[in-house]
């Protein structure tokens, strides 16, 4: 059976304030659709099947960047990204990274996350509007990823700014000016990490960058290009994705005082709230894959060798999988039978390396925020959403914190 043409162009997502309306209209025409020579997957079961398939490949993305970008750091970073590498090298790189980026290393960061979250909130005014992104939600993950990698504090602000500039390479419909700015940002970012790598080679520290340099398995090590790309990728995703996960979720949570009260009295687990953040306001909307051999998805045979665009955010609101999919409902994660996991961190061989860290940070940030300011609420200023075509978040999160907890 032939898939129907998609009902909107993927380029429309860039700058779209409410992409969920587009997804809902498109979903009426089926979970798998065509967009020119490409395919678009909007359904959760179909996306899950694709992402878990051993026939799924991402190397075509790296090749595309090799052809499009000028020689230099940007091309090196994008063509060696761990999520754009196919087996067998992907399997080797993933194993090396797993030797350094261990669950224990992630768990050990929790006291640090809690400490800096408390310190950041301690000095904030209770009775006037503030931007919670600038004063809290951006700061915590930026400090955490810097601590994890071993980035000096005096480099942190510059690297987070550079990472946001470079992330435009992953968007859609970039102008020549945006592309040039991203390429220039990559050069600066890689120069900084190259200096840090040289320092760690001379004097290893107890940080992830040193552990990645030391990782070895059957004489296999990370190449310089892989290491620099990995450091830049981790730094970018490590602050941007967690920031957007947290703040996107708060836009839905803060108007729901009944849910907040259940969270405050311990009736509703924080983990359930974070999971609904991931499902309901997914930070990463779009990823691309290609098949090495044809695969049937939702009754359609998707051929090998053509791009397949997976709309994670659409899949996470698939009404066939989630009851009242367009309602923010953290309680769904406490019911039996268990609710199907969201696809916010993808699945399969390219499941996000930092998923457990992002969940940990969001949980602790949420807990410390409401322990300190239980009456926090959205300010009246309108929310301004940005959509790069791949990533979605708010530019600012204006809130009034209210009185501090007596505890």
- Residue-level pLDDT at 1: 62
Query: In angstroms, rounded to a whole number, what is the distance separating the alpha carbons of residues 63 and 346?
Result: 21
Residue 377, pLDDT > 80, answer yes
Residue-number span of the structural domain to which 169 is assigned: 61-292+316-400
Average pLDDT over residues 165-190: 87
**Under a CB-based contact definition with an 8 Å cutoff, are residues 296 and 50 in contact?**
no
CATH of the domain at 111: 1.10.630.10
- Is 263 within a domain? yes
Residue 108, pLDDT > 70, answer yes
- Is 147 within a domain? yes
- Is 13 within a domain? no
Residue 333, pLDDT > 90, answer yes
- Residue-level pLDDT at 213: 95
Domain count, the chain: 1
283-317 CB burial, b ≥16 within 10 A, e <16: bbbbbbbbbeeebebbebebeeeebbbbbbbbbbb
- DSSP labels for 62-125? HHHHHHHSPTTHHHHHHHS-GGG--TTHHHHHHHHHHHHS-HHHHHTTHHHHHHHHHHHHHTS-
- Residue-level pLDDT at 40: 95
**Under a CB-based contact definition with an 8 Å cutoff, are residues 241 and 297 in contact?**
no
- Is 30 within a domain? no
Higher-pLDDT residue of 171, 268:
268
- Residue-level pLDDT at 168: 84
Confidence of residue 245 (pLDDT cuts 50, 70, 90): very high
CA distances from 141 to 81, 134, 157, 160, 228 (A): 21, 12, 12, 10, 20
Query: In angstroms, rounded to a whole number, what is the distance separating the alpha carbons of residues 392 and 167?
Result: 12
Residue 154, pLDDT > 90, answer no
What's the chain's Rg over C-alpha atoms?
Answer: 21
- Residue-level pLDDT at 405: 80
Average pLDDT over residues 357-375: 97
- Residue-level pLDDT at 21: 93
Instruction: Please provide residue 151's backbone torsions phi and psi, each rounded to the nearest 5 degrees.
Output: -85, 125
The residue count for the chain: 407
Neighbours of 123 (CB within 10 A): 7
pLDDT digits (tens, 9 = 90+) for 207-232: 999 999 999 998 899 999 999 999 99
- Residue-level pLDDT at 176: 87
**Under a CB-based contact definition with an 8 Å cutoff, are residues 309 and 369 in contact?**
no
Average pLDDT over residues 60-75: 89
The three-state (H, E, C) secondary structure of 339-382, written as one string: CCCCCCCCCHHHCCCCHHHHHHHHHHHHHHHHHHCCCCEECCCC
- Residue-level pLDDT at 278: 98
Average pLDDT over residues 75-82: 90
- DSSP labels for 193-246? HHHHHHHHHHS--SSHHHHHHH--BTTB---HHHHHHHHHHHHHHHHHHHHHHH
Crossing angle between the packed helical segments 270-280 and 257-264, to the nearest 10 degrees: 150
Residue 368, pLDDT > 90, answer yes
Please provide the average confidence, as pLDDT, over all residues in the chain.
Answer: 93
**Under a CB-based contact definition with an 8 Å cutoff, are residues 33 and 26 in contact?**
yes
> Which residue, 396, 398, 368, 286, is CA-closest to 6?
286
- Is 1 within a domain? no
* 3-state SS class at 35: strand
- Residue-level pLDDT at 407: 61
- Is 112 within a domain? yes
Residue 399, pLDDT > 90, answer yes
**Distance between alpha carbon 146 and the CA centroid of its chain, in Å?**
17
Using a pLDDT cut of 90, give the percent of the chain over it.
76
Residue 68, pLDDT > 90, answer no
**Distance between alpha carbon 316 and the CA centroid of its chain, in Å?**
14
Lowest pLDDT segment from 11-15, 50-54, 180-184, 248-252: 11-15
- Is 102 within a domain? yes
**Bridge partners, residue 290, by sequence:** 57, 307
Query: In angstroms, rounded to a whole number, what is the distance separating the alpha carbons of residues 388 and 366?
Result: 26
Average pLDDT over residues 129-151: 95
């Amino acid at each position: 059976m032939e898939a129907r043409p998609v009902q909107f162009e993927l380029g429309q997502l860039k700058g779209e304030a409410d992409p969920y309306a587009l997804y809902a209209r498109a979903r009426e025409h089926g979970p798998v659709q065509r967009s020119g020579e490409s395919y678009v997957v909007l359904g959760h079961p179909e996306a899950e099947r694709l992402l878990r398939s051993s026939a799924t490949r991402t190397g075509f993305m790296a090749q595309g960047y090799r052809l499009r970008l000028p020689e230099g750091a940007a091309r090196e970073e994008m063509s060696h990204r761990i999520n754009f590498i196919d087996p067998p090298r992907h399997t080797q790189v993933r194993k090396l990274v797993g030797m350094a980026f261990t669950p224990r290393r992630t768990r050990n960061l929790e006291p640090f996350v809690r400490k800096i979250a408390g310190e950041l909130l301690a000095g904030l005014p209770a009775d006037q509007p503030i931007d919670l992104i600038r004063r809290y939600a951006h700061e915590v993950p930026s400090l955490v990823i810097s601590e994890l990698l071993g980035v000096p504090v005096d480099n942190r602000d510059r690297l987070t700014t550079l990472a946001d500039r470079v992330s435009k390479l992953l968007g859609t419909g970039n102008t020549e000016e945006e592309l040039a700015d991203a390429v220039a940002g990559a050069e600066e970012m890689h120069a900084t990490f190259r200096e840090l790598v040289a320092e760690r080679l001379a004097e290893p520290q107890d940080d992830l960058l040193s552990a990645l340099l030391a990782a070895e398995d059957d004489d296999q090590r990370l190449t310089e290009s892989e290491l620099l790309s990995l450091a830049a990728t981790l730094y970018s995703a490590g602050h941007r994705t967690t920031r957007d996960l947290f703040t996107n979720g708060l836009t839905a949570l803060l108007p729901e005082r009944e849910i907040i009260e259940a969270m405050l009295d311990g009736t509703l687990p924080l983990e359930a709230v974070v999971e609904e953040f991931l499902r309901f306001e997914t930070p990463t909307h779009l990823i691309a894959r290609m098949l090495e051999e044809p695969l049937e998805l939702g009754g359609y045979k998707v051929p090998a060798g053509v791009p397949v665009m997976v709309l994670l955010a659409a899949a996470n609101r698939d009404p066939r999988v989630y009851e009242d999919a367009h309602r923010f409902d953290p309680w769904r994660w406490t019911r039996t039978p268990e609710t199907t996991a969201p696809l916010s961190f993808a699945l399969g061989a390219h499941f996000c390396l930092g998923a457990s860290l992002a969940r940990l940070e969001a949980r602790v940030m949420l807990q410390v925020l409401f322990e300190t300011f239980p009456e926090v609420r959205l300010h009246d200023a309108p929310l301004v959403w940005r959509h790069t075509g791949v990533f979605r978040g708010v530019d600012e999160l204006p809130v009034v914190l209210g009185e501090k907890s007596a505890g």
